[in-house]
Amino acid sequence: MNEPIIRFEGVVKRFGELTVLDHLDFTVDPGEKVTIIGPSGSGKSTVLRVLMTLERINEGVVYVDGEPLWHEQGAKGLEPASEAHLRKMRQKMGMVFQHFNLFPHMTVLRNLTEAPRYVLGLSPREARQRAEELLELVGLSDKAEAFPSQLSGGQQQRVAIARALAMRPKIMLFDEPTSALDPELVGEVLRVIRSLAEEHELTMLLVTHEMDFARRISDRVCFFDQGRILEQGPPEEIFSSPKEQRTREFLHAVL
Ligand code: ADP
Ligand code: MG
C-alpha cells in the first residue's frame, strides 16, 4: 500500500474561542478522488486552506507527500518550516476557489503563463505551449487573448482550473468551485473537473454541494460535522445508507 499523500493527525484549528478543526484525523491516498460534504461552518474550507498554508494550525501535524507541512528536517531535528519549504509544499497543490481570482489586468494566456515562467522558470515558449494545451483541455482555445472580464463566470472558472494545472500539481483542491455560478454555467465546469477525475495520477480533494456529481466522481465521500469527519465511505454507501443521524438529516436537507 502507498503512503497517504495527505495526512492530518490530530489537527486542531481554533479561531479565538471557536474550535474549527477538532482533533481531525484525515488521510487521502495518491490518486484518490475525495469529496468533502457537510454543513456550513463545519470546517471544510479550513481543511483546504490549511493545506495551502493559508491558515496555521494550533495542534497536530499535517503531512503532504511524505513531509510535514509546517516543519522541516533541520540539523537538530524538526524545525519550523522556512519560507522555501512552505513554497515547495504549496507547489504540490493547486487550488480553485469559489470565486475565480484571475488576474484581471492580464489576458487569459498570461494568467496561465505567469507562474510557470516566473516560479517554475519555464521559457516563454514552453509556458505558452503548456497554456495552449490546458486551454484546449478546458475548451477555451479561442479565448487566449481575452481578458477575464470578457468571459462568463463558467469560462473564468475553467481558466482558473487551467491556471492551477499549469503548475503541474500532484494534488488539486476545489472549494465549492460551482457555488458562485449561475445554474446554467455549472455543467461546463463540472465537465472539466470530471475529465480531471479520470486522470489516474492526480489526487483530488473537492468540497461541493453538488451531490449527484460527488456520487459520480468520488472514490470516497467524507461527511464533516463540527470540525471532524463524522462518517466516510464510498459514495453509494454514504448517499444510500448513511449510518449517522446527522448525515441523514444533512442529505435530506440538500437532496
Ligand atoms: P465551511 O467551509 O465548512 O463552511 P469553514 O472552514 O469556512 O467552514 O469555517 C469554519 C468555521 O470557522 C466557521 O464558523 C467560520 O465562521 C469560522 N472561520 C473561518 N475563517 C475564520 C477567520 N479567519 N476568523 C474567524 N473565524 C473563522
Ligand atoms: Mg467553505
pLDDT above 70 (res 161) = yes
Q: Ligand 1: which residues within 6 Å by Cβ?
A: 15, 18, 20, 38, 40-46
Provide the whole-model pTM.
0.96
pLDDT category of residue 75 using cuts at 50, 70 and 90? confident
For atom 12 of ligand 1, the residue with the nearest CA is 20
pLDDT digits (tens, 9 = 90+) for 207-245: 999 999 999 999 999 999 999 999 999 999 999 999 999
What mean pLDDT is predicted for residues 194-216? Answer: 96
Alpha helices in the chain (DSSP H): 44-51, 83-90, 108-118, 124-137, 153-165, 183-197, 211-217, 235-240, 245-254
pLDDT category of residue 78 using cuts at 50, 70 and 90? confident
Q: Residues lining ligand 2 (ion), CB within 5 A?
A: 45
Atom of ligand 1 nearest to the CA of 175: 2
Asked whether the beta carbons of 138 and 159 are under 8 A apart, the reply is yes
For atom 16 of ligand 1, the residue with the nearest CA is 41
E strand or H helix at 220: strand 220-225
All cell numbers assigned to 72: 522541516
Say how far apart CA 24 and CA 227 lie, in whole Å: 7
Atom of ligand 1 nearest to the CA of 47: 6
How confident is the model at residue 73, as a pLDDT? 84
Atom of ligand 1 nearest to the CA of 224: 3
pLDDT digits (tens, 9 = 90+) for 114-139: 999 999 999 999 999 999 999 999 99
For atom 5 of ligand 1, the residue with the nearest CA is 43
How confident is the model at residue 180, as a pLDDT? 94
All cell numbers assigned to 1: 500500500
By most ligand atoms within 8 Å of CB, the mutation choice from 45, 98, 175, 179 for ligand 1 is: 45
Alpha-carbon distance values, 168 to 27, 95, 137, 149, 165 (Å): 22, 12, 14, 26, 5
How confident is the model at residue 1, as a pLDDT? 60
How confident is the model at residue 2, as a pLDDT? 74
pLDDT digits (tens, 9 = 90+) for 7-58: 999 999 999 999 999 999 999 999 999 999 999 999 999 999 999 999 999 9
How confident is the model at residue 212, as a pLDDT? 95
Phi, psi of 77, deg, nearest 5? 95, -155
- Ligand 1: centre distance to CA 229 (Å): 16
How confident is the model at residue 166, as a pLDDT? 97
Q: What is the DSSP letter of 221?
A: E
pLDDT digits (tens, 9 = 90+) for 164-192: 999 999 999 999 999 999 999 999 999 99
